[in-house]
Amino acid sequence: MRSDDAINLSRRVALAGLALTAGPLLQPSLSRAALAPSRQQVPGLYRFRIGLFELTAINDGVWNVPIDDKFVRNVPLQQVQQAMAAAFLPTIDRLPLPFTALLVNTGPQLVLIDTGTGGQIAATAGLLETNLRAGGVAAEAIDTIVISHFHPDHINGLKTKDDALVFPNAEILVPQAEWEFFMDEANLRAAPEVLKGYLLNARRIFKNLAKRLRYYVADKEVAPGITAVFAPGHTPGHHAFVIASGDQSLMVLSDTATHPALFVRHPHWQVALDMDGAAAEKTRNKIFDRVAADRMLVTGYHFPFPACGHIATSADGYEFYPRQWASQL
């Protein structure tokens, strides 16, 4: 008899004994006690393949952003809240904005695209390193980090709250256009308060990292098989990426659209997080037309986990279709 059979048998005997002495009413409470609710989510990981590359979507958590009449610049609040209700979002006064970074195993290199919040944005986020480890990858193993733009939810995971480096062996690739805007002293002096906070945050994160930094420009590879696509508007140097291997490809949208229930469905809506709303809208339409026409797989940093799927045109905008879970790659 195998040992687990023996356990099952002795459990059955014990249960039978209990039933005899205490009666059948005891059994339901025993089965409730057998597995207490964990009240914790399982690791936020989703793995898929593009040609020879193995990709892992890594969830960092969520930020429940308070919504007011300034959240979408060019649409009344009531209309935004109607769209949130229509998409079955849990509340209409807070938008759950998830963060999902992307790990690309190209074979020779482990590349991480964006780094999560580093636990510095919301108490409900900062899980990237834990989830990465749950996927069998230590922070030390990352060779290359590619940053899409300099908003804190994309760069703060490079360092802890106490400025310790999280990925000690990685080279860090940053968009040259973004660097030039964010590090410019005249821009800092002229910046309104929120933007000033972003500019100062970027200075803190990249301080003492000069030796690890490399600057990239659009239409060139940031790593073999990963090409930067200029996608301005969200920030001046914001980039998307095309990942291609074999006959398959993927568009990493970064923040071309934030939450798809609002900004894929309604691409002309301009979120307050977009620095140049009109430019962001133009970029959105251009990239969405391309991925819809080519039926190209996309990932979106703020899309619901696993943040991966397809975009198709609809009557007055686009629709996002989440990718189906696959237990085999």
Q: Is 255 in the site for Zn ion (CB under 5 A)?
A: yes
For residues 60 and 255, which CB has a smaller minimum distance to Zn ion in the complex? 255
Region of 34-42, 109-117, 139-147, 252-260 interacting with Zn ion (CB under 5 A): 252-260
**Sequence-distant (≥ 6) Cβ neighbours of residue 149 within 8 angstroms:** 175, 178, 234, 235, 237, 238, 239, 254, 255
In the bound complex, what is the minimum distance in angstroms from residue 191's beta carbon to Zn ion? 18
For residues 136 to 175, the per-residue mask of contacts with Zn ion, x marking binding by CB under 5 A and - elsewhere, is ---------------x-x----------------------
The reply to whether 274 sits near Zn ion by the rule CB under 5 A is no
List the one residue out of 292, 268, 324 whose CA is nearest residue 83.
268
Q: Are 262 and 80 in contact (CB under 8 A)?
A: yes
Q: Give me the least distance between CB of 59 and Zn ion, in Å please.
A: 14
Site string (100-139) toward Zn ion, x via CB under 5 A = ----------------------------------------
Between 63 and 216, CB nearer to Zn ion: 63
Q: Which is nearer to Zn ion, 65 or 225 (CB)?
A: 65
CA dihedral sign, ordered 288, 292, 298, 304: positive
The conformational region for residue 254 under phi > 0 = left, psi -120 to 50 = alpha, else beta, is: left
Q: Nearer Cβ to Zn ion, position 63 or 167?
A: 63
Task: Provide the minimum distance between the beta carbon of 93 and Zn ion in the complex, in angstroms, as a whole number.
Answer: 20
Q: Please, what is the Cα angle at 221 between 217 and 222, to 5 degrees?
A: 75
**Strands, DSSP E only, in the chain?**
45-50, 53-66, 94-105, 110-113, 144-146, 171-175, 213-216, 221-223, 226-230, 239-245, 248-252, 297-299, 308-313, 318-322
**Cβ-based burial of 322 (10 A; exposed 0-12, middle 13-18, buried ≥19):** middle
Kindly indicate which of the ranges 81-89, 167-175, 189-197, 253-261 contains the residues binding Zn ion, using the contact rule CB under 5 A: 253-261
- How many residues make contact with Zn ion (CB under 5 A)? 3
Provide the minimum distance between the beta carbon of 86 and Zn ion in the complex, in angstroms, as a whole number: 23
Those residues whose C-beta lies under 8 Å from the C-beta of residue 145, and which sit 6 or more positions away, are: 111, 112, 113, 115, 158, 167, 170, 171, 172, 173
Judged by beta carbon, residue 151 or residue 259, the one nearer Zn ion is: 151
CB of 97 to Zn ion, least distance (A): 8
* Short-list 138, 307, 143, 157, CA closest to 222: 143
Nearer of residues 53 and 263 to Zn ion, judged by Cβ? 263
Q: How far is the CB of 15 from Zn ion (least distance, A)?
A: 53
Query: Please, what is the minimum distance in Å from the beta carbon of residue 200 to Zn ion?
Result: 18
Pick 67 or 106: Cβ nearer Zn ion: 67
Q: Give just the sign of the alpha carbon dihedral 235, 237, 308, 268.
A: positive
By beta-carbon proximity to Zn ion, the closer residue of 62 and 245 is 62
Instruction: Please list every residue from 28 through 47 that binds Zn ion, using CB under 5 A.
Output: none
CB of 301 to Zn ion, least distance (A): 5
Give the DSSP H or E segment for 212. none
**Site residues, Zn ion (CB under 5 A):** 151, 153, 255
